[in-house]
């Protein structure tokens, strides 16, 4: 008999990437006067209504939404508790597993090294990691792992940042190549101490160096620079960063981004002293939430196998807002510079290789920057990404505005919460502008 946990694993395996791969941002056309429209005592009435509608018995224990305006701390809507069995109120300082919202952090760390001319966007990866010099490619995507051809061009830094390298992903690929990656320990993430079939199967290798070496032995799923395919490129970027920077990847993030930005609640491993702030993550099956990872016995209290640059961070809404605010201010927080202006300007722009298009499952055509989607058309200048447990973070670079939703359930498209939040956010912004 199939158990609920097995069903959850199967659902996650098929669907967790859909919401990770796209979101609908606030239209840039609505933004220019938003900073002047901040006189309302209730900035987010429709977002608040969505949050309150989704928090309570039979729904979610708690969630946090936010909207940040130029030069100001964010306004937060926080309702409920950190878990159904956790009486602590959820706040902007509660800790959430942000999964793929780690990718823009890793991407911007790489862009800082590029801005410093310590590596280059179109530099071959093999210049830094020689094992990637001679890569083989599957003749057909997710097909045979013996019917292969030599990669016609090298994998580059740009391609890793934009998921166009041809590198696969354990949570995306099917068939023999998925099994090969898992057998080699290419498992770049964690969910729970409970084994969930189909999600991060296998035992991960215990260092970024070993991860990179073994990834170089696996065929690419497409020729480099020819298609967008969600990948372990940002996890590999963690190894590249530590080689180029000459220091462990997690230490580099702390020294270059977290400490300068005042992000004191962002970790690969939650310190014991902060465990009480950690929310519970749930698996959503039909209308039932099953605890997957609780703060009293969370897998995030342990040191991870290696720092997962694509999915490993835990953060708070207040901390991640500081990251988004810093991006909107071109690397500045207050009078203090965190990242070089060039790093942010280029990293939040469309750096996709020529002739490749990207279309999110829930949105229109878009570009791709350093680990995050870049809006086009009415969503131009909006950069951000989402996480596998229901978190969203985005920033309008042109108008220094940022918005977030933090909740914990998997898969994040198991219900209509996220599209309802996006609709409410747009409506709140429109109402503010109409009253200006």
CATH of the domain at 224: 3.40.710.10
- Inform me whether the pLDDT recorded for 16 exceeds 60: no
**Do 402 and 283 share a structural domain?**
yes
Domain boundary among 229, 246, 263: 246
Residue 111: exposure state from Cβ atoms within 10 A (0-12, 13-18, ≥19): buried
Mean pLDDT of 208-221: 98
Q: What is the CA radius of gyration of the chain?
A: 20
**Do 30 and 62 share a structural domain?**
yes
**Do 30 and 175 share a structural domain?**
no
| Predicted pLDDT of residue 18 | 35
**Do 52 and 177 share a structural domain?**
no
Band of residue 309 on the pLDDT scale cut at 50, 70, 90: very high
**Do 283 and 402 share a structural domain?**
yes
The secondary element (H helix, E strand) that includes residue 392 is strand 392-396
**Do 41 and 154 share a structural domain?**
no
- Inform me whether the pLDDT recorded for 137 exceeds 50: yes
Total structural domains within the chain:
2
Domain boundary among 222, 246, 270: 246
| Predicted pLDDT of residue 199 | 76
- Inform me whether the pLDDT recorded for 326 exceeds 60: yes
| Predicted pLDDT of residue 436 | 54
DSSP secondary structure, 88-99, as one string = EEP-TTSBEE-G
- pTM reported for the whole predicted model: 0.92
Spatial contact of 370 and 355, defined as CB atoms under 8 Å apart: no
**Do 384 and 258 share a structural domain?**
yes
In which domain, by residue range, is 337 found?
A: 4-102+251-434
| Predicted pLDDT of residue 11 | 43
- Inform me whether the pLDDT recorded for 241 exceeds 50: yes
The Cα 309–Cα 28 span in angstroms is 29
| Predicted pLDDT of residue 23 | 37
Mean pLDDT, the chain, as a whole number? 90
**Do 41 and 120 share a structural domain?**
no
**Do 270 and 404 share a structural domain?**
yes
**Do 68 and 146 share a structural domain?**
no
CA 134 to chain CA centroid, Å, is 30
Mean pLDDT of 129-136: 98
The Cα 417–Cα 122 span in angstroms is 39
The Cα 173–Cα 362 span in angstroms is 21
| Predicted pLDDT of residue 24 | 39
Domain boundary among 199, 224, 246: 246
**Do 331 and 425 share a structural domain?**
yes
Residue predicted with more confidence, 401 or 264: 264
| Predicted pLDDT of residue 432 | 66
**Do 422 and 287 share a structural domain?**
yes
| Predicted pLDDT of residue 39 | 41
């Amino acid at each position: 008999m199939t158990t609920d946990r097995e069903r959850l694993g199967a659902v996650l395996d098929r669907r967790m990437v859909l919401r990770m791969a796209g979101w609908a941002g606030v239209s840039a056309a609505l933004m220019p006067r938003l900073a002047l429209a901040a006189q309302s005592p209730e900035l987010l009435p429709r977002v608040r209504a969505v949050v309150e509608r989704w928090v309570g018995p039979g729904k979610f224990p708690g969630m946090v939404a936010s909207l940040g305006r130029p030069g100001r701390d964010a306004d937060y809507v926080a309702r409920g508790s950190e878990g159904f069995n956790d009486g602590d109120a959820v706040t902007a300082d509660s800790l959430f597993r942000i999964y793929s919202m780690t990718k823009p952090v890793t991407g911007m760390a790489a862009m800082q090294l590029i801005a410093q001319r310590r590596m280059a966007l179109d530099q071959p990866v093999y210049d830094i990691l020689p094992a990637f010099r001679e890569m083989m490619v599957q003749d057909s995507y997710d097909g045979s792992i013996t019917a292969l051809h030599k990669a016609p061009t090298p994998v580059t830094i740009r391609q890793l940042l934009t998921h166009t390298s041809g590198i696969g992903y354990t949570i995306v690929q099917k068939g023999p190549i998925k099994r090969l990656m898992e057998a080699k320990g290419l498992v770049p993430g964690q969910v729970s101490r409970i084994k969930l079939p189909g999600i991060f199967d296998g035992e991960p290798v215990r260092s970024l160096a070993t991860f990179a070496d073994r990834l170089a032995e696996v065929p690419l799923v497409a020729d480099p620079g020819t298609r967008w395919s969600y990948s372990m490129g940002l996890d590999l970027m963690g190894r590249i960063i530590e080689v180029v920077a000459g220091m462990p990847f997690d230490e580099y993030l702390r020294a270059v981004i977290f400490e300068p930005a005042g992000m004191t609640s962002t970790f690969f491993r939650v310190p014991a002293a902060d465990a009480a702030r950690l929310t519970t993550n749930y698996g959503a099956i039909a209308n039932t939430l099953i605890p997957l990872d609780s703060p009293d016995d969370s897998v995030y209290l342990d040191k991870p196998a290696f720092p997962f640059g694509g999915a490993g961070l835990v953060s708070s809404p207040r901390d991640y807002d500081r990251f988004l605010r810093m991006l909107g201010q071109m690397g500045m927080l207050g009078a203090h510079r965190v990242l070089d202006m060039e790093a942010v300007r280029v990293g939040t722009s469309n750096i996709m290789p020529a002739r490749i298009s990207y279309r999110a499952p829930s949105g229109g055509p878009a570009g791709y920057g350093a680990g995050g989607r870049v809006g086009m058309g009415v969503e131009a200048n909006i950069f951000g990404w989402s996480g596998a447990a229901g978190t969203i973070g985005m920033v309008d670079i042109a108008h220094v505005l940022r918005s977030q939703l933090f909740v914990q359930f998997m898969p994040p498209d198991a219900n209509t919460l996220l599209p309802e939040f996006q609709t409410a956010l747009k409506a709140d912004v429109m109402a503010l502008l109409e009253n200006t």
